[in-house]
Amino acid sequence: MREGNFIDYVKLHVSSGNGGSGSSHLHREKYVAKGGPDGGDGGRGGHVILRGNKNLWTLFEFSFRRHIRAEHGENGGKQRSSGADGQDEIVDVPLGTVIRDTETQEIIDEVTEDGQEIIIAEGGMGGRGNWHFKTSTNQTPRYSQPGIDGQELDITLELKVLADVGLVGFPNAGKSTLLSVITSAKPKIADYEFTTLKPNLGIVKYRDFKSFVVADIPGIIEGAAEGKGLGYRFLRHIERNSTLLFLVPADAEDVAKEYEILLDELRRYNPEMLDKDRLIAVSKTDMLDDELKAELKAELDENLPVPYLFISSVAQQGLTELKDKLWEMLNKDPEDKK
């Protein structure tokens, strides 16, 4: 998907370097009779390496670079001099990048740590020079090994944004507004559906210089499994979140029903999503008076199986309690999680 500079899915062709050939040189020097074989080894071909970089958050660079090639190793020389190894091609990718074999769709590896290096295509080994093959019965071998060819393959990079909390809700539920209020992120906000067309990340500053990361994805609607709306295109960006924050507006006809619809869409996408901690934030509650809030609270206490909070991003209501609850959920003892 491409929206502005945000790209989270690319296909690449990678090829490592070929190994250099060994030399079949025979020593030639004045006053040195029958110098014998002295051909050096070929150099190793360069690897293609993907390296995690915490300062990147998109695969935008690969819009202009679909072929990645490492250098070939150099051939061996005389006097047993080895050829130089081909230079490795090291490519930085954002954390959360999943690497797949394009043909088989099998996952090769994942980049999850800053500085982590993964060799995607190994360079070919260099061939051995003829001096390796000298024996008492074959003192002048005139042959050497050729270098081994490098690897070529097609890979697919998929970015899964790394965040602590993922926002889930229908279009126009107020996710982008909430993100803009509790973080310094500046997502696009408007009064029409599907304003958000790309994931947005924001860092929530908490007490005592602590912080956690929140990811806002485009809204999903009932029937996303059949491709309605934007479908499941962006749900992979919350697969790694430990906590899901469901945002349901207070003016919804049935808050509990909307939550169940969202939960069912997650279940149909990946049942493991239901193992995450869940919290419901009932947004836009500044539109309700005390009496309506009391009625809604009584209804939700009866019908909602998970904790919930009343918030209003515009009126700045309930946001401190929301941060406290999210921090508590993110930092509770794993043994206490159900």
Whether residue 219 is annotated as binding a ligand: the answer is yes
The SS3 of residue 286 is: helix
Whether residue 54 is annotated as binding a ligand: the answer is no
Whether residue 214 is annotated as binding a ligand: the answer is no
Helix-helix angle 175-182:319-330, to 10 degrees: 90
Cα distance between residue 14 and residue 65, in whole Å: 11
Q: Which residue has the tokens 């609607």?
A: 221
Whether residue 285 is annotated as binding a ligand: the answer is yes
Whether residue 312 is annotated as binding a ligand: the answer is yes
**Which long-range contacts link 24-27 to residues 24+ away (Cβ below 8 Å)?**
24/129, 24/130, 24/141, 24/142, 24/143, 24/144, 25/77, 25/78, 25/129, 25/130, 26/130, 26/140, 26/142, 27/78, 27/79
Whether residue 211 is annotated as binding a ligand: the answer is no
Contact 162, 175 (CB under 8 A): no
Whether residue 165 is annotated as binding a ligand: the answer is no
Cα distance between residue 41 and residue 78, in whole Å: 9
Whether residue 171 is annotated as binding a ligand: the answer is yes
Whether residue 17 is annotated as binding a ligand: the answer is no
Cα distance between residue 58 and residue 294, in whole Å: 44
Whether residue 314 is annotated as binding a ligand: the answer is yes
Cα distance between residue 150 and residue 172, in whole Å: 51
Whether residue 313 is annotated as binding a ligand: the answer is yes
Dihedral angle at the C-alpha atoms of 148, 154, 159, 160, nearest 10 degrees? Answer: -90
DSSP assignment string, 45-88: PPPEEEEEETT----GGGGS--EEEPPPPPPP-STTPPPPPPPP
Residue 190 backbone dihedrals phi, psi, to 5 degrees? -155, 170
Whether residue 118 is annotated as binding a ligand: the answer is no
Whether residue 14 is annotated as binding a ligand: the answer is no
Cα distance between residue 93 and residue 114, in whole Å: 10
Whether residue 174 is annotated as binding a ligand: the answer is yes
Whether residue 170 is annotated as binding a ligand: the answer is yes
Whether residue 284 is annotated as binding a ligand: the answer is yes
Cα distance between residue 79 and residue 82, in whole Å: 9
Cα distance between residue 207 and residue 326, in whole Å: 13
Whether residue 194 is annotated as binding a ligand: the answer is yes
Whether residue 195 is annotated as binding a ligand: the answer is yes
Annotated binding site for GTP: 169-176, 194-198, 216-219, 283-286, 312-314
Annotated binding site for Mg(2+): 176, 196
Annotated binding site: 169-176, 194-198, 216-219, 283-286, 312-314
